[in-house]
Structure 1
Amino acid sequence: MNLFGKYHGHLSEATRLTLTGSTFYSKWNHSGQIPDRAVATGLIGYFGSIDPNEGGETSRTNLNAELVTVTPNNSVIRHQLFYGKYDFELYSNFTFFRADSINGDQIRQKENRHLWGYNGSFTNNITVGSKELTTTVGIQYRQDLTKETELSHTKNRNKTLEQYQFGNIHEINAGIYVNETLPLSPRFTANAGVRIDVFRNQYEDLLFNPASKAQASTTIISPKLNLYYTPSAQLQIYLKSGKGFHSNDTRVVVPQNGRRILPAAYGSDLGVIWKPFPRLLVNAAAWYLWLEQEFIYVGDEGVVEPSGQSRRQGIDFSLRYQLTNYLYLDADVSTAKPRALGETEGQDYLPLAPVLTSAGGLSWQGLGRFSGSLRYRYMADRPANEDNSLVAKGYLVSDLQANYSFKKQQIGLSVQNLFNNRWKETQFATESRLLTETAPVNEIHFTPGTPFFARLSWSLFW
């Protein structure tokens, strides 16, 4: 079930109000992550399962209100209030019978979360000499409360064998930022900003009697600097740089008393936007990202493991081309070289980090009552472990969308995986043991990608 509603209107000529609300509920059974060897030996089919009791259910309700006012001197004031209610229960079995040869290794992850917050900003233009300086000042606040967040060892969904994690989480993130944009000359523009984030994490461990409660807080400052040079209406060169961070699980943050829980991320990219003629737009950029600390979540053990510093660098390329008055071509290609720092060469691969991806296709619109697209997405092979001895296989999948519109109606045909390619959607290097095996085996485990799937839809507009 999926419901969505939106209201957009003007309270006055200068103020507009947008209200949105949505809710959904979903319940499913699934095959989970299955090992390559189980399919190769014929133990199960490509869409089969080892533990038929994997699955779960989830629901989420969101409410959002946004108020935007333009003042008489063209300043812009934005207010946003939001609330979310999130329930989640998932049964998984990643290792099958590796830890428990009798009952199996099924786990339950469960959460009941309330979150709410506020985003506000004020944008103003002032004249500095002969230049116009655009200043944005903003504040952000978000608070999360979870009740009885759980990770447990279970059997057949209905029997709890052991609780690994069980507690209440209280998280607060408050931030303030300033963003400045100044045209230094008709062709050169500078954009600089800084934000300060404060995190407060509290965990109440219900496995203790009485329950134990602890908290940790930390602060991080994130600056940025972007430069734009526009020698003509057809060409812009830019250099973007900034600092961000990687957040972490409260259940890891609190035991460390807030130390090393917001590792910094430094990134930059040098690019060009070029429009050689009206129907062609090209964007190319070389980029770099350094991360102070990588984290790996081990879901079946309820821990987050640090894995050291990392570096990623690569090149992105985008193309938008209008072939005819009705036909459009687009393509995005991204290459990357991700590596762990401080490791021996050949042992420094970042598991599952993409090395080559691409997406694009053909779209048609304005051709009478017809519109639609033929799209593709591509992922190249990538290392699944640190020495690249296990490889996560890539894929190429195509989708089709075709629409026919009437005055107030539209009929649509949507086809996923048009050519019915067999592909693996998620892949992990996992050590598992099947019931018939005497020792664990480390190999690729995967969830199968969607096969050929067609859906016909009818829409009514008023």
Structure 2
Amino acid sequence: MLSPKLQLSYQASERLNLYLKSGLGFHSNDSRVVVQQTGREILPKAYGVDVGIHWKPVDRLLINAALWRLDLDQEFVYVGDAGIVEPSGKTRREGIDLSIRYQANAWLYFTSDVNYTIPRAVGTAEGEHFIPLAPTFTSIGGLTAELTNTLSGSLRYRFMDNRPANEDNSLHAEGYFLMDAVLNYTLGAFELGLSIENLTNAAWKEAQFETESQLRNEAKPISEIHFTPGTPFQARLSATVRF
């Protein structure tokens, strides 16, 4: 399978670069299916293009912004009842990505990545063209501080917005906002570290799927969200010796 790529870049100024990228590849989100099919008719083609800029408006600020589109000849959707993925037809994703890197001073750094996407099934009736569990709005970022030669730390966040859990968007997979923190103290070959996950102890759902279930007191099966609870507040201490 040929996967040609094309990239054009134009240096408009010392602080501004414009680019265009495009390419043809393939897509599969479940290797088990590929193995079962011995690779035949299960690696659908993927067509991508994005146009964007690298811009440095001031010395300590770097911005990358891009508009993009991705077309898949076949989308695979997880089926909770069977524990497999199944083909669901062609899909298209269009979106915008924004990345910011900022150095506030000699020891403090800020980063943020924001991604907005419109994922849709192609050739499907309006209102039934949502892609289950496809992210629509996500962001990661945080602050990193190098306080001294021996002390450093970071405060990071992760955000995912609510997203459709089925094709008609009647069920939603709940989004979340999480914060993690890390503090490291280094002295020669020794390093002590403190890592905290879910700093605010937020209640969140990790894996989420639309699945039918029926309790003993229910007259018929109900299609609802089944999920794995996300990690609660958790702190870890570590000690490292390098030699």
Distance 1:307 1:336 in 2: 19
User: What residue in structure 2 maps to residue 412 of structure 1?
Assistant: 193
SS of residue in 1 equivalent to 2:169:
coil
Aligned-pair identity in percent equals 55
- SS of the residue corresponding to residue 403 of structure 1 reads strand
Secondary structure at the residue paired with 1:265?
A: strand
Larger Rg computed on CA atoms: 1
The question of 1:432 aligning with 2:213 is answered yes
Give the whole-Å Cα distance in 1 for the aligned partners of 2:238 and 2:115. Answer: 33
Q: How does 1:20-39 map to 2 (within 5 A)?
A: none
Measured after TM superposition, the shift of residue 366 of structure 1 is: 4.9
The residue type equivalent to 2:15 in the other structure is: Q
Verify the 8 A CA contact 2:184 2:193 in the aligned structure 1: yes
Q: Please, what is the CA RMSD of the aligned residues?
A: 1.7
Deviations 1:76-114 (A, max 9, x none): xxxxxxxxxxxxxxxxxxxxxxxxxxxxxxxxxxxxxxx
Q: How does 1:23-102 map to 2 (within 5 A)?
A: none
Q: Distance in 2 between matches of 1:451 and 1:366?
A: 28
Aligned residue for 1:324? 105
Task: Establish whether residue 277 from structure 1 lines up as the match of residue 58 from structure 2.
Answer: yes
- Contiguous gaps of at least 5 residues in structure 1: 1-219
2:71 matched residue in structure 1: 290
Give the alignment of 1:385-404 within 5 angstroms.
385-404=166-185
How many residue pairs get matched? 240
Specify the alignment match of 2:150 in structure 1.
369
Query: Is it true that 1:261 corresponds to 2:19 in the alignment?
Result: no
- Structure 1 equivalent of residue 93 of structure 2: 312
Deviation per CA, 1:226-275: give whole Å up to 9, x if none.
10111222111110000111246146525xx93x3221100010010011
Partners of 1:396 and 1:297 in 2: CA distance: 24
Residue equivalent to 1:71? none
Question: Amino acid of the residue matched to residue 335 of structure 1?
Answer: Y
Corresponding residue for residue 8 of structure 1:
none
2:161: which partner in 1? 380
Kept in 1, the 8 Å contact 2:141–2:158? The answer is: yes
In the alignment, the residues of structure 1 paired with residue 113 and residue 24 of structure 2 have an alpha-carbon distance, to the nearest angstrom, of 25
Q: Please state if 1:459 is matched with 2:233.
A: no
Is the Cα contact below 8 Å between 1:252 and 1:304 reproduced in 2? no
1:397–1:407 CA distance, 2 compared to 1 (3 A): same
Cα 1:231–1:340 change in 2 (3 A) is same
**In 1: Cα distance, 2:114 partner to 2:35 partner:** 37
- Structure 1 partner of 2:134: 353
For 1:163-214, what per-residue CA distance to the aligned partner results, in whole angstroms no more than 9, with x for missing partners? xxxxxxxxxxxxxxxxxxxxxxxxxxxxxxxxxxxxxxxxxxxxxxxxxxxx
Once residues 366 and 396 of structure 1 are traced to their aligned partners in structure 2, the CA distance between those partners, rounded to angstroms, is: 27
Q: Are 2:115 and 2:137, in contact at CA under 8 Å, matched by a contact in 1?
A: yes
Task: State the AA in 2 paired with 1:283.
Answer: N
Q: Hey, what does 1:449 align to over in structure 2?
A: 230
Given residue 120 of structure 2, which amino acid in structure 1 is its aligned partner? R
From the superposition, tell whether residues 251 and 301 of structure 1 become closer, same or farther in structure 2 (CA, over 3 Å). farther
Q: Taking structure 1 as the reference length, what is the TM-score of the superposition?
A: 0.50
Structure-1 residue corresponding to 2:119? 338
More strand by share: 1
**Contact (CA 8 Å) 1:252, 1:303: kept in 2 or not?**
no
Where does the alignment leave 5 or more consecutive residues of structure 2 unmatched? none
What amino acid maps onto 1:390 in structure 2?
Answer: L
